[in-house]
Amino acid sequence: MIIERKSTVTGSIIPEILEVLSAEFPITDLYNRDLKLRQPLGIYNVSLMTVLASFENVLDEVEKFLLNKPFAKYEDLPDEWREGFHEPKLLVNQRTLLYSLMEHMEDCFNILKCFVPLPSPDPLKRTKKAYCKHPEINDCVTAVAPYYDHVSNIVNHSKHNQGRIKTFTISTDTMLMPGYFIESCEHIKDPVTGIITWEVLGPSSIIHTPNRDTAFSFARDLRFHFVNIYLVSMHLAVAVNKLAGSKASPRIIDHSKMASQLLSVARRIEKLPNYFFRDEVLMPVPTVKIIETATTTELRLAYPDPIALLPSLDRGKKYMAFVSYRGDAVSVSIHLPYML
């Protein structure tokens, strides 16, 4: 899927749903008051501003980290990248980004709910399944389900299973590849007795399938999430247009500040080195590209990008992996990504 947004059309750098929601809908056809929610445009504005601020905070730390020279030994790892009594700032910011993306997905569903009557007077029966009886909503939910499931698996595991985010960096003599993984405590059977005897900390088998042998590079991860903001917006715009587009009246809203912030984040993501981890090279490639001329600015987003070329990694080079752990006074075994 390729999305191209050009500044030659008013406000077109912004996600498509912002243009749709900028129209004025008859108040009698909106149900946000029954749900005690903002109007749909307000919901999306607040949600997107939160997500963009989270992107900026993560980028601040990743860019700072990439200023370091490649590491030759653990002692070279910057203090702010190690886990001590306090978590590294990057991990705190990355968790906030993931949580804000999960909230964004819920906010997008709340926007859909604003355009249809309550399915039941009983709040407990106003389930996603009940709302999905509307084909427009069901089509949108189905289209964004792969991304929703990806984010919700991470966030739910982090919230409910103490799935801590761990930094993971690969270094050669010429480059750094910073990333992270989501931790879990796996219980392993003794291959001889069949009795569970080992507790091993490492990448979660729920998230890092199939062998707990992977991680997320920031180079791919930040591109992936940014592109999906626009992909989700596209599906949301289709659904809202089908539900209420014929009843909308034109309204001019100035989105220039939002467009400027989006472009700023996009430029920073585009500049990240596109060195992906071993398994990610085989995955669909997300790309964020800005094309500027004397008169236009174009934001080109693709996932998967059919023409993207990733730099090849020299298999003959020496690669070093760095991870930082805080002890819990009990666990003694650790499994690292890409060590199989």
For residue 329, the model assigns a pLDDT of 83
For residue 97, the model assigns a pLDDT of 98
| 10 has a pLDDT exceeding 60 | no
For residue 197, the model assigns a pLDDT of 64
For residue 307, the model assigns a pLDDT of 84
| 9 has a pLDDT exceeding 60 | no
Report which of residues 334 and 149 the model is more confident about: 149
> What percentage of the chain reaches a pLDDT higher than 90?
57
The token pair at 166 is 């761990």
Rounded to two decimals, what is the model's pTM?
0.93
DSSP H helices in the chain: 16-21, 32-35, 40-66, 89-113, 128-131, 135-160, 218-244, 256-270
Coil, strand or helix: which one is 303? coil
For residue 294, the model assigns a pLDDT of 82
Buried-exposed string 165-198: b where 16+ CB fall within 10 A, e elsewhere: bbbbbbbbeeebbbbbbbbbbbeeeeeeeeeeee
Task: Return the number of other C-beta atoms located less than 10 Å from residue 23's C-beta.
Answer: 18
Which region among 70-84, 87-101, 143-157, 213-227 has the lowest average model confidence (pLDDT)? 70-84
For residue 52, the model assigns a pLDDT of 98
Q: Provide the pLDDT confidence category of residue 293 given band limits of 50, 70 and 90.
A: confident
Q: What is the overall mean pLDDT for the chain?
A: 89
The winner for highest mean pLDDT among 196-200, 233-237, 246-250 is 233-237
pLDDT in tens, 69-85: 777 677 777 776 666 65
The long-range contacts involving 244-248, CB below 8 angstroms and separated by at least 24 positions, are 244/25, 244/29, 244/115, 245/20, 245/23, 247/25, 247/26, 247/29, 248/20, 248/23, 248/24, 248/25
Q: What is the CA radius of gyration of the chain?
A: 22
Which region among 171-175, 251-255, 265-269 has the lowest average model confidence (pLDDT)? 171-175
Q: Provide the pLDDT confidence category of residue 259 given band limits of 50, 70 and 90.
A: very high
> What percentage of the chain reaches a pLDDT higher than 70?
91
d(CA 153, CA 232): 17
Q: Provide the pLDDT confidence category of residue 267 given band limits of 50, 70 and 90.
A: very high
Report which of residues 294 and 45 the model is more confident about: 45
Interval 311-316 mean pLDDT: 66
For residue 313, the model assigns a pLDDT of 67
